[in-house]
Structure 1
Amino acid sequence: MIKQPSKMAKEKDQNTKDNKNLLICFLWNFSAELKLILMALLVLCTLATLLPFIPSSFSISASELRFCISRIAAPDVVNSTSLAVVNDPGLENGVIKRPLTDKAVVNNGDIKLPVMNNGDTKRLFSGNTIVDNGDVKPKSVLNNGVTKRSFTGYGWAAYTFVLMSAYRGGVNGFAAIGLSSKPLHVYAHPSYRCEWVPLNQSENRVLTDGSRILTDWGYGRVYTTVVVNCTFPATVNSKNSGGTLLLHATTGDADRNVTDSIPVLTESPNSVDFHLYDTNRRREKYDYLYCGSSLYGNLSPQRVREWIAYHARFFGEKSHFVLHDAGGVQEEVLEFIGIPPNNTISSVMETLEEYSQFTIGQMPMSSQLCFSGDGPARTYRKWGFEKLAYRDVKKVPRRDRKYAVQPRNVFATGVHMSQNLQGKTYHGTGSLIRYFHYHGSISQRREPCRHLFNGTRIMFDNNPYVLDTTMRDVGFAVKTFEIRTIGDRLIRTRQ
C-alpha cells in the first residue's frame, strides 16, 4: 500500500515533535548534571590554558590565601607594590603588603630587608648595590676584578619590569634599563614614575614622570627592551648626602592597575663626582666604548684572544669594552672592525663628526675556507683572521650592519641601529669603515680551516669568493702589539 504524501508529512512532523519533546524532557530532568559537567569542562579548559604559564615550583601557601582574601576584601585599593614585605599581610597606608615575595621592603620610602626565621636580615642584590639595613655596600666583585651583576624581575604572571642596570646620566637625569612583557605594552598602557628618596629623611623626596623608550620593538616577542629616562626638574642629591632612585612601574590595566616600586640605583654619601657632568670642565675618560651583545654558546679561547688583541690595538689605550658573558659566545658573532690602508680610526671619526650616528657595512668572510699560500704547516699556525681570507661576493639585497653613535646625542640604543637620537644618521661609510664577519667561527673549539685554496677567485658550494687580505695584512702588527702589552706568555698557545 502506498501512503499519501500529506499523511507522510504529518507523520514526519509528529515524529520530529515527539523527538523535540523527548530532548526537552531529558534536558529538564538532567539540567543540574549538565550544568555541573559544563562547569567542569570550563574549569579544565581554563587550567589547560594557564598550565604552561605556571612555574614548576608553584604552590599555594596560607599567606597567599590571606593575600587573595585581602584583595577581595579591599576592592577600592588599586595601587600596590610587590616590594612591601611585613609580618602582617594586611593593609597599611593604602598599600597592599605581599608576604610571598623575598624582595626588599619599601615602606613609606624607607628601604628595608626581609627578616629570615633565624633573625638574620636577608640581603638583596639588585645588580647595582647591596642595601642592608640602610647601609650601602659595593657591587659584588670577584677575585679576578670582574663585577658580578644579576637581573631582578618584578611582577607576577609576566614581569612588568626586569631590572638589568641603571646609571646617572647628568646632574638631574638617570636611566633604568631592563626588559618588560611585550604583550603588556601591546594590549595595556604601562607607565613609569621616578622618585628620588634621600638617605637623610629631613630632605624632600622628588617625583617625576619617566619617559619610556622601546629600543628594539621589532625583535622581542615575549619580552622587549625598555629604557626609562628619568629627568628631574633640578639637581638630584645636590648635597651629595646619598639616596635611592625608585622606579614605580604601573601596568596601566583599567581593571587591575598594579604598581611595582623598584629600587633601581643607590648612591652612598659623597659618592657622586658632579664635575663629571660639567660640560665646561668635563674631559672624557674614554675615546671609544665598545658594547657587545650577550655571549653564550661554546666559547673558543683562541678566537676571543684574537678579537681582543686586534681591537685593543685598533681603538687605542683610551678605549673601554663592555662584554656580557652569558656562559660562552653566540654562534653568529666574531666580527672585526677594519678601515682602509693609510687611514686611522681617528681620521675616520673626524670625517664623520657631524653625524650623531653612522652605520658600518658588512664584509662576509668564510669561516672554513683558508688561504694556503704560506704552505699547509705554516697556515695552521696562523691566527684565524690571517688564514680565513676568502670573502663571499654573492650579490644580496642588503646585509646586516653595525653602527656607532655619539653618546651625548643619543637617548637610547638598540641592536642594529638607534632610532632615539638627535642629529643626523649616515649610511654611506663603505669606503671609510667596514666590519669583517666570520660567521660561526668563534663557536668552534677546533681548527677552523676545512678547505685550503691558493687562488684569488674560487667557487665553493656554488658561491663565489675572492681573496681579501685586509685582515691578513695586519696580523704581524697585532701579534707584536700583544707581546708588547702583555708579554710572550701566550705566544706558544695552540691555535
Structure 2
Amino acid sequence: MAKDDNQIPKKMFIGVVWNCAAELKVLLSALLFFCSLITLFQFFPSSISNLRGCAAFPPPAAINFLSTSASPVENKKLQDVVIANGLTKRNFNAYGSAAYNFILMSAYRGGVNTFAVIGLSSKPLHLFGKPKYICEWVPHVETLNSVNVTGYKILPDWGYGRVYTVVVVNCTFPTSVGHDGVGGKLVVYASTSGGGDTDFDLTDTIDALTENPGQVNSLQFQAEPKYEYLYCGSPLYGGLSPQRVREWIAYHVRMFGEKSHFVIHDAGGVHPEVMEVLRPWIEKGYVTLQDIKEEERFDGYYHNQFLIVNDCLHRYRFMTKWMFFFDVDEFIFVPKETNLKAVTDSLSDYTQFTIQQRTMSNKLCYLDDNAGRIYRKWGLEKLVYRDIKRGIRRDRKYAIQPRNVFATGVHLSENLKGKTIHKTEGKIMYYHYHGTISERREPCRQLVNTTDKYLDGTPYVVDTTMREAAGAVKMFELRMIGPVLQKTHQ
C-alpha cells in the first residue's frame, strides 16, 4: 500500500507536465533565447554591448543620474515671440553638434620657434564661420613664463572636404621656445568663434605636442638629410593586386636608389598577400608601413588623403632632400640617357616641380608572341597602349624640397616658399595605369596585335618604354630580395 502511495505524487507530476506541455515549451524556449542573447552580447562591439545593461538591474547611482553633478547641460529653450503688427519672430533651438571642432592627428616641430599641427575639422564650420586658433608654449618648469601666439590656419584640400576638411595650424613664436633644455608642451586653443551662431562660442583645449627635457636638438634642422628621396603614399584601401604592388615597389626602389625610403599608409588595402610583398622591403629598410585605418571613422575626401600627405610632409620634412607624391598605379620615368639624380639636381633651384602624366590603357594588351605566355608577364610588359587623345587636361603629380613647404596637396602644393616649375616634360614624367592595382584579376581585357587602336572613342598607340625596363627590374628584385616573391598572384 505504501508503494502505491509513493507512486501517486509521481503520477500527478507527470500528468501536470503532460497537460501543460505546450506552456512549458514556450517558457523553456523563451528562457533559452534570453540566455543566448545575453551570451552573444559579450562579443558585440562596445557601442552595442552597452545594451547588456538592459538585462540587469541598474546600479543605484545610475537610477538618479539626472540629479548628479555629471548631468547634461540644459540649453534654455527659446520660444517664438510675437513682436508687433502680427509679426512673429521664430526661434531655433540647437542640440548637440554635427561634427567635431577639431580632430588631432599629429603635431611636429618645424624649427626652433615653429610647429605644425595637423588635423580635421568640421567643413561647414570653416565654410560659414571663422574659427580661430591660439597656440601656447608651456615650459615644464613653473617658474618660466608661457608664450602665446595666434595660430595661422591653412586649408590645403582646396574645398574637397566632406563632413570634415583638413586643417594645418602653423604656430610660429617670435622667439625660440623649448631650446633651454627644460622641455615643455604645445597647447592649441581651438575656438569655433560662433561658427555662424553669434550667441554661442566653444573653445577646446588641445595638448598637441609634449617634449621631454633635453629632447630638442636645434642642429637637426640644419643637418644633412638621411635620404635623397622619400615617397609619401596616399591611403591604400580595397582589394589591391599583390602583383601590381610587387612591380611598383621593385621598380621604384631601383629608380630611387639606396638613399631612398617609402612610407606606405594602410587604410585597409594592405591585406595579407600585399603584406607578403612589402615585408622583404621593410626588412631591407626601404619601406615604413603605417596603419591609418582609424581615420575611416571621419568622413573626409578620398579616405582623408590630404590629411595623410600633410602628416607625412611634416613627419619627414627634415629627413629627406626631395619628397615625392604620387599613387601606386603610377610609375615615374626619366629618359635612358639620364637618371633621377641628374634630373633633381638640375631642378634644385626650385622648391617644387610637377610631373606630366602619360595615360596607359588598363584593358588593352599587346600580343606579339604566344597568347599563353602573356598572362605570366608583368603588367609593365603587356599594358603598352598609351592614350594620345589631345585637348584634355592631364593630372600632374609632383615633388618638393619639404623644408620650404608649409602644407601640401595631392597634385601640388600651394603653401611654400620658393619657385615652382611645370615645364618638365623632357626631363621626367609618369606612366599611369589607372585602376589596374585595385582589382585582383588579370588586367588584359583585349589582346591586340596592331600598333594603334581605337577603343570607346579614344585613340591608343603602342608605347614600349616601360616594357623595355621590366627585365632590369626583375633582375634587380632577384638580386635584392631573392626569389621569395616569384609565386606572387594577382
> Is 2:107 aligned against 1:166?
yes
Shift of 1:269: 3.0
2: CA distance, partners of 1:342 / 1:267: 48
Shift of 1:205: 2.0
2: CA distance, partners of 1:217 / 1:64: 44
Alignment partner of 2:126 out of 166, 172, 185: 185
> Is 2:437 aligned against 1:442?
yes
> Is 2:463 aligned against 1:468?
yes
Query: Structure 2: any 5+ residue segments left out of the alignment?
Result: 1-46, 52-61, 77-95, 271-301, 304-326
8 Å Cα contact 1:367-1:438 kept in structure 2: yes
The secondary structure found in structure 2 opposite 1:484 is helix
2: CA distance, partners of 1:392 / 1:323: 29
Alignment partner of 2:208 out of 264, 277, 297: 264
Alignment partner of 2:398 out of 399, 403, 413: 403
Which residue of the partner structure matches residue 310 of structure 2? none
Shift of 1:249: 0.6
Percent identity between matched residues is 57
Q: One-letter code of the match for 2:202?
A: V
Which residue of the partner structure matches residue 158 of structure 2? 217
Shift of 1:334: 0.9
8 Å Cα contact 1:333-1:439 kept in structure 2: no
Select the structure with the greater relative contact order (CA < 8 A; seq sep ≥ 6). Answer: 2
Alignment partner of 1:230 out of 154, 171, 174: 171
Count of matched residue positions in the alignment of Structure 1 and Structure 2: 356
Shift of 1:176: 0.7
Q: One-letter code of the match for 2:358?
A: M
Q: One-letter code of the match for 1:398?
A: R
Which residue of the partner structure matches residue 33 of structure 2? none
Alignment partner of 2:71 out of 41, 45, 66: 66
> Is 2:418 aligned against 1:423?
yes
The secondary structure found in structure 2 opposite 1:276 is helix
Alignment partner of 1:250 out of 191, 194, 208: 191
Q: One-letter code of the match for 1:288?
A: Y
Shift of 1:67: 4.1
2: CA distance, partners of 1:243 / 1:442: 45
> Is 2:281 aligned against 1:276?
no
> 1:48-68 deviations in whole A, cap 9, x for unaligned?
xxxxxxx99999963697341
Shift of 1:291: 1.3
Alignment partner of 1:378 out of 369, 373, 382: 373
Q: More helix by proportion, 1 or 2?
A: 2
8 Å Cα contact 1:385-1:472 kept in structure 2: yes
Shift of 1:284: 1.1
> Is 2:294 aligned against 1:353?
no
Alignment partner of 1:368 out of 355, 363, 371: 363
> 1:303-328 deviations in whole A, cap 9, x for unaligned?
11111111111111222222221101
The secondary structure found in structure 2 opposite 1:305 is helix
8 Å Cα contact 1:333-1:437 kept in structure 2: no
Shift of 1:391: 0.8
Shift of 1:228: 0.5
1: CA distance, partners of 2:459 / 2:393: 17
Which residue of the partner structure matches residue 228 of structure 2? 287
The secondary structure found in structure 1 opposite 2:354 is strand
Alignment partner of 2:448 out of 440, 453, 457: 453
When residues 467 and 64 of structure 1 are mapped into structure 2, their CA distance, relative to the original with a 3 A threshold, is farther
Alignment partner of 2:487 out of 482, 487, 492: 492
Q: One-letter code of the match for 2:205?
A: S
2: CA distance, partners of 1:490 / 1:240: 48
Bigger shift: residues 339-348 or 197-206: 197-206
1: CA distance, partners of 2:360 / 2:228: 29
TM-score w.r.t. structure 1 length? 0.67
> Is 2:147 aligned against 1:206?
yes
Shift of 1:258: 0.8
Query: Structure 1: any 5+ residue segments left out of the alignment?
Result: 1-54, 73-154
The secondary structure found in structure 2 opposite 1:160 is coil
8 Å Cα contact 2:452-2:462 kept in structure 1: yes
8 Å Cα contact 1:333-1:438 kept in structure 2: no
Alignment partner of 2:428 out of 430, 433, 458: 433
When residues 217 and 459 of structure 1 are mapped into structure 2, their CA distance, relative to the original with a 3 A threshold, is closer
8 Å Cα contact 2:242-2:489 kept in structure 1: no
Q: One-letter code of the match for 2:115?
A: F
> Is 2:255 aligned against 1:314?
yes
Which residue of the partner structure matches residue 3 of structure 2? none
2: CA distance, partners of 1:493 / 1:414: 33
> Is 2:246 aligned against 1:305?
yes
When residues 406 and 64 of structure 1 are mapped into structure 2, their CA distance, relative to the original with a 3 A threshold, is farther
Q: How does 1:18-33 map to 2 (within 5 A)?
A: none
